[in-house]
Chain A
Amino acid sequence: GQQLNQSPQSMFIQEGEDVSMNCTSSSIFNTWLWYKQDPGEGPVLLIALYKAGELTSNGRLTAQFGITRKDSFLNISASIPSDVGIYFCAAFNFGNEKLTFGTGTRLTIIP
């Protein structure tokens, strides 16, 4: 099935650094979601975006819904050890709530 293009695939950063990842699609979506998944756990919703151009924050996390409705990015500021995990973007359209997932970004913090 279709997947969203998510980059980077992996990131290795030091604690305290900022992180940026993005997600692109060839199709338009009217809802974008960002999830974090820890090993052996289900994804946890971080941020939901419903309007093109919308910029939403959740603590140190900020996500934006691209104006073209074909992309979204997630920023994490001042990373801490518990930020380690895999981040997935996901998107869907009203009336067809099946999620299309991104390929994931694995975040590792170097001691």
Chain B
Amino acid sequence: GAVVSQHPSWVICKSGTSVKIECRSLDFQATTMFWYRQFPKQSLMLMATSNEGSKATYEQGVEKDKFLINHASLTLSTLTVTSAHPEDSSFYICSVETGTGGTDTQYFGPGTRLTVL
């Protein structure tokens, strides 16, 4: 399966600042990556689909101007939380889609814990 890394693992920031989270596919060229958010004791919720070389597709209720996604290469997607507020504190996880039609799957990164003070 694909090996996915995220940086940083943990970030604490002040309210109003912006935070960038990187997702890297280390051994697979990923046309499509996904960004999820997970609150404590809850399941993963899809935020957006990141497509290499084009604009991301956001899920309903996710503000695209607040959560900026850039997928500039086949191995890197970044999520920038702009003007972060305490309610943005969460566990952010990316995934890489692999496989060809019929055997697709997703491999997840280790996650980034964001705490906004």
Contact = CB atoms under 8 A, between A and B. Distances in A.
B70 interface: no
Interface string B90-117: 0101010100011111111111010000
B34 to A, nearest CB: 7
Interface of B is mostly: strand
Contact of A98 (B1, B49, B101, B108): B49
B50 to A, nearest CB: 12
Contact of A42 (B32, B42, B93, B105): B93
A48 B97 CA distance: 13
Contacts of B54: none
Nearest to B107: A45
Given A42-B109, A45-B1, A98-B49, A50 B97 contact: no
B32 A99 contact: no
Interface residues of B, number: 29
Contacts, number: 62
Contact of A94 (B6, B45, B104): B104
B108 A35 contact: yes
A94 B102 contact: yes
Contact of A40 (B102, B105, B109, B111): B111
17 contacts: A1-B45, A1-B59, A3-B43, A31-B105, A35-B108, A40-B111, A41-B110, A42-B108, A43-B93, A88-B44, A90-B106, A94-B101, A97-B32, A98-B34, A98-B46, A99-B46, A99-B106
Given A31-B104, A99-B44, 18 more contacts: A1-B45, A31-B105, A33-B105, A33-B106, A35-B108, A40-B113, A41-B111, A42-B95, A42-B108, A43-B108, A45-B105, A94-B101, A97-B97, A97-B106, A98-B46, A98-B49, A99-B46, A99-B95
Interface of B: 1, 4, 6, 32, 34, 42-46, 49, 59-60, 91, 93, 95, 97, 101-111, 113
Interface of A: 1, 3, 31, 33, 35, 40-45, 48, 50, 88, 90, 92, 94, 97-99, 101-104
